[in-house]
C-alpha cells in the first residue's frame, strides 16, 4: 500500500511556491513515485466566482511506495524540505503549511483513464476531520458503503481514500490530524459539475447522513491538479 504526504497551504492568497519548479526539484527525491500539486478553483457545484476563501492556497501530495522511503525524505533538512526551499517564492514560512502522512487506498473507476506527466485534471478533495465516536465502526461503514456509490459518478477518472497513520517527520510544519480524506478526479471542471449534479451525488448524501456519529468539519475543495510522475507504477 502506498503512503502519501499531504502538505496543505494556508487559506487565501497565492501559492507560496513555484509549482512547476517544485516538480523539477522533486524529481530527484529517492523513492518519490508521484507529486500532485493542487490549486483552488471556483466550486462548480455552487455559484460561479472566486474559490471559497477557506480553500488552501495549494495542496501537495507526495506519493511513496513505502513509509521508510518517505521518512528518509522527511528527515530534518532532508530532500522534501530542500525541494520546498528551492521552489519557494520567498523565504519558506514554517507556518505556511500543515502536514499529514496517510495510507492510500486506490480504487479503479469503470471509466479510469491513465494520466501522463505534466497533465492536468480537476479534483474534489474531501477531509473528515473527526473524531468519530467509534472510528473502527465509522471506517467499516464508510469503506463498505461509500466507495461503491462514488465509483458510479459519471466520467470519474480516479478515486482514492486515505486513512491517517503515525510517522516521523522533520519538516517544520504543524501536523494535521484528519481521520480520513478522499478525492475524486475528473478531466475538467465541467465534468466535476455534472458529477455533482447527478443522482449518484444524492445517493452519496443519503449515505453520508447514515454514517456512525462523528465530529469535526468535512471540508470539500475543488482543485486544479498538476501531475508529476517520476517512478514506480
Higher pLDDT, 54 or 179: 179
> Average pLDDT in the 119-137 region?
95
At residue 185, the pLDDT reads 97
Tell me which of 131-135, 174-178, 229-233 is least confident: 229-233
CATH classification at residue 174: 3.30.70.100
Using CA atoms, how far residue 150 sits from 96, 102, 110, 143, 206, in Å, is: 32, 20, 11, 11, 12
User: With helix as H, strand as E and coil as C, how does the chain read?
Assistant: CCEEEEEEECECCCCCECHHHHHHHHCCCCCEEEEEEEEECCCCCCCCCCCCCCCECCEEEEEECCHHHHHHHCCCCCHHHHHHHHHECCCCCCCCEEEEEEEEEEECCCCCCCCCCCCEEEEEEEEECCCECCHHHHHHHHHHHHHHHHCCCCCCCEEEEEEECCCCCCCCCEECCCCEEEEEEECCHHHHHHHHCCHHHHHHHHHHHCCCCECCCCCEEEEEEEEEECCCC
Which of the pair, 43 or 224, is modelled with greater confidence?
A: 224
| Mean pLDDT value of segment 106-122 | 87
More confident call, 165 vs 13: 165
pLDDT of residue 72: 98
Instruction: Kindly tell me the sign of the dihedral angle through the C-alpha atoms of 193, 199, 200, 205.
Output: positive
Domain count, the chain: 1
CA dihedral 51, 52, 58, 60 (to 10 degrees): -110
Percent of the chain with pLDDT strictly greater than 70: 96
Name the residue range of residue 222's domain: 3-229
Task: Say what the pLDDT of residue 233 is.
Answer: 40
228 C-beta neighbours (distance < 10 Å), count: 19
Q: Is pLDDT above 90 for 36?
A: yes
Q: Provide the mean pLDDT of the chain.
A: 92
pLDDT tens track for 192-208: 999 999 999 999 999 99
Highest mean pLDDT among 45-54, 114-123, 170-179, 222-231: 170-179
- Tell me the CA end-to-end span of the chain in Å, nearest whole number: 12
pLDDT in tens, 65-101: 999 999 999 999 999 999 999 999 888 888 889 999 9
Phi, psi torsion values for 186, nearest 5 degrees: -130, 170
pLDDT higher than threshold 50 for residue 27 = yes
Nine-digit cell at 64? 511513496
Residue 33 banded pLDDT, cuts 50, 70, 90 = very high
Mean of pLDDT values over 155-164: 97
Amino acid at each position: 500500500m502506498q503512503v502519501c504526504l499531504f502538505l496543505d497551504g494556508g487559506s487565501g492568497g497565492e501559492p507560496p511556491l513555484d509549482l512547476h519548479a517544485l516538480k523539477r526539484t522533486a524529481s530527484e527525491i529517492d523513492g518519490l513515485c508521484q507529486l500532485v500539486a493542487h490549486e483552488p478553483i471556483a466550486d462548480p457545484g455552487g455559484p460561479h466566482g472566486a474559490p471559497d476563501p477557506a480553500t488552501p492556497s495549494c495542496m501537495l501530495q507526495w506519493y511513496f511506495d513505502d513509509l521508510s522511503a518517505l521518512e528518509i525524505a522527511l528527515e530534518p533538512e532532508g530532500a522534501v524540505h530542500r525541494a520546498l526551499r528551492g521552489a519557494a517564492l520567498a523565504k519558506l514560512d514554517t507556518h505556511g503549511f500543515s502536514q499529514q502522512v496517510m495510507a492510500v487506498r486506490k480504487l479503479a473507476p469503470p471509466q479510469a483513464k491513465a494520466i501522463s506527466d505534466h497533465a492536468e485534471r480537476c479534483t474534489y478533495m474531501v477531509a473528515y476531520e473527526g473524531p468519530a465516536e467509534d472510528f473502527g465502526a465509522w471506517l467499516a461503514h464508510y469503506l463498505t458503503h461509500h466507495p461503491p456509490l462514488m465509483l458510479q459518478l459519471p466520467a470519474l477518472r480516479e478515486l482514492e481514500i486515505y486513512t491517517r497513520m503515525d510517522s516521523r517527520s522533520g519538516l517544520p510544519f504543524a501536523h494535521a490530524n484528519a481521520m480520513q480524506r478522499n478525492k475524486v478526479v475528473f478531466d475538467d471542471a465541467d465534468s466535476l459539475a455534472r458529477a455533482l449534479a447527478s443522482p449518484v451525488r444524492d445517493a452519496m448524501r443519503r449515505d453520508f447522513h447514515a454514517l456512525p456519529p462523528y465530529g469535526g468539519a468535512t471540508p470539500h475543495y475543488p482543485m486544479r491538479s498538476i501531475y508529476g510522475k517520476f517512478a514506480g507504477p
